[in-house]
Copies of this chain bind each other. A is one copy, B any other.
Amino acid sequence: MILRDPVHGVVSFEGENGRVLPRLIDTVEMQRLRRVRALGVASMAFPGAEHSRFAHAIGAAQVMARFLARVEPLAAAMGSPLSAVDHDDALAAALLHDLGHGPLSHLFEEVFPGMHAHELWTSAAILDPDTEVHRALAAAEPEMPSRVERLVHGVHPMPLLARAVSGMLDVDRCDYLLRDSHMTGTRYGLFDLDWLLRSLALEHDDRGPRLAVEGSKGLPAVEGFFLARLFMYQQVYFHKATRAAESVLRSTFRRLADLVADGRVPAGTPEPIAMLARGERISTQAYLSLDDNALWRAVDAWRDDRDDTLAGLAERCGRRDLFKTASLDDIDPELDASIQQELEAIVEAHGYDPRYFAALDVAEVMPFEAPRIPEEGLRVVHAHRPAQALEHASFIIARIADTSFVRRRLVFPAAVREAVTEMLEAQRPGR
């Protein structure tokens, strides 16, 4: 199986990398990910970002294949070789790490809070004996489904592999930073993967070889990775248009949930959505029937609903008529609560229901979180002197470690823009 990919170029799953991947890729559960966009509604803001979680999953598996090619000889030289079983498990876990992802990015999980997080659905899809993915894994080896399921969640006897699947510098992040950067047309996520892989090293540890990076050459590649992550949050994931689009869609689903709770299921609502809105449990199969297409079809149907709020919000989704935002970044966070109340009053005065048309949106990410147990962190090794923790070795990482990047915004309909601007003007220290 040889593929070409806009991010990684040639992707080949042959030889030792071809033992399980091709069969897994052709399962219906993996193919479903073709219909789940990686960036959810962000493609409203970045029209080129139409790539799916399927392409991302292939990319993550490719990064894992390259990671293994780099690390296996080092581990063998250290007397702790990876087995063929480890190799296959790692590739499968990289490919399947997002298997249970719901439509419309993380938004979907937030809206129906009784629902499982997508990580649990991934487990369910791997462990459920009725899925094709389960059968493909079990056909390779009966214990493989349970091993891969644990590895997806970062549990594995070799910390090296566990962290490569789910860690601060894992194959998931490696692929999505590059891919989202490439496809949005921003260039800020384009860290130097080639050099990063090449500068990986291993350090001895009680529990086996542990991932490290060669100091003299690898430091800027690792720094580049964490800065790329910060930049992508700043520029894409926390972009005002992305957040505004998410806000409209979130309000739409909230209104739907409220209507269902009140006893009416608007026409066009897929049965699994109705069940989730009622807080009922749904089967793995029912969950996996949901994809972006199903959701957008439902939103489309709701444009004709007799509830004006639902219809209006659905209409906004369809026409890309997003909410507006106003930054609170230069305003004292202590004022947030009172400002939010003022916003709700303004919105209500203009005839909108503040439950759905006014929000304080706080987006927060920590670009580098120093590990609580130092041994879990990334170490930097040197030729003629002792190894150091990354956050000590790096000038730039030391300066951002354990600090959150935060964006605070008000979200509201365009019609109240002027009133909101005036209200905020009054909050700013005199000038």
Contacts and interface: CB of A to CB of B under 8 A. Distances in A.
Interface of A: 2-10, 26, 28, 31, 34-35, 43, 46-48, 50-52, 54-55, 58, 182-188, 192, 194-195, 198, 216-217, 219-220, 223-224, 227, 230-231, 234-235, 240, 293, 296-297, 318-321, 326-327, 330, 382, 384-386, 388, 395-396, 399-400, 403, 405, 421, 424, 428, 431
A388 B330 contact: yes
A399 to B, nearest CB: 4
A230 to B, nearest CB: 7
Nearest to A58: B47
Given A10-B185, A47-B58, 7 more contacts: A4-B48, A8-B185, A9-B195, A35-B296, A187-B195, A326-B384, A384-B421
Contact of A320 (B31, B55, B399): B31
Contacts of A319: 26, 28, 31
Contact of A187 (B192, B223, B399, B405): B192
Contacts of A428: 385-386
Nearest to A187: B192
Contact of A405 (B31, B43, B216, B395): B395
A9 to B, nearest CB: 6
18 contacts: A2-B217, A5-B47, A5-B185, A7-B185, A10-B185, A10-B195, A26-B319, A26-B321, A34-B50, A47-B55, A50-B50, A220-B231, A223-B231, A293-B293, A330-B388, A384-B421, A384-B424, A399-B403
Contacts of A58: 47
A237 to B, nearest CB: 13
Contact of A219 (B34, B55, B234, B424): B234
Given A55-B47, A386-B330, A318 B4 contact: no
A389 to B, nearest CB: 12
A217 B185 CA distance: 13
A318 B230 CA distance: 38
Given A26-B320, A330-B388, A385-B424, A7 B220 contact: no
A48 B55 CA distance: 6
A187 B318 CA distance: 35
A229 to B, nearest CB: 12
Copies per assembly? 4
A318 B30 CA distance: 11
Contacts of A403: 399
Given A48-B51, A52-B50, A55-B48, A385 B7 contact: no
Contacts of A5: 47-48, 185
A396 B227 contact: yes
A386 B10 contact: no
A8 B327 CA distance: 29
A395 B48 CA distance: 27
A51 B50 contact: yes
Contacts of A320: 26, 31
B396 A230 contact: yes
Contacts of A400: 395-396, 399
Contacts of A10: 185, 194-195, 198
Contact of A234 (B187, B220, B234, B382): B220
Nearest to A59: B48
A6 B185 contact: yes
A182 B6 contact: yes
B395 A234 contact: yes
A26 B184 CA distance: 19
A240 B227 CA distance: 24
A296 B223 CA distance: 37
A131 to B, nearest CB: 14
